[in-house]
Amino acid sequence: MSAPDDPNRQVFAEGRGQAPGRGRLEGRRVLVVGGGQQAIDEADAPVGNGRAICELAAREGALLGCVDISETAAEEVCASIVSKGGKAIPIQADVSDPDAVTRSMAEFVSRAGGIDGLVLNVGITSGLPLSQITVERWDKDFAVNLRSHMLYAQKGLEVMDDGGSIVFISSLAAYRVVVNQPAYEVSKAGILTLSRSVAKAGEPRGIRSNCVLPGLIDTPLGRLEGRRRADRARAVPFGRQGTGWEVAYPVIFLLSHEASYVNAQEFAVDGGYHAGIVRA
Helices (H), ranges, 84-134: 98-112
- By percentage, how much of the chain surpasses pLDDT 90? 81
Measure the CA–CA gap between 141 and 143, rounded to whole angstroms: 6
Query: For 90-99, 149-158, 225-234, which range has the lowest pLDDT when averaged over its residues?
Result: 225-234
Q: What are the tens digits of pLDDT across the range 165-199? A: 999 999 999 998 878 899 999 999 999 999 999 99
Report the mean per-residue pLDDT for the chain. Answer: 93
pLDDT at 230: 47
Q: What are the tens digits of pLDDT across the range 3-44? A: 556 767 889 999 999 999 999 999 999 999 999 998 777 778
| Helix, strand, or coil (residue 36) | coil
Helices (H), ranges, 113-167: 135-142, 148-159
CATH number of 25-269: 3.40.50.720
Indicate the domain borders of the chain: 25-269
Give yes or no for residue 231 having a pLDDT over 70. Answer: no
| Helix, strand, or coil (residue 210) | strand
**Residues forming the active site:** 184
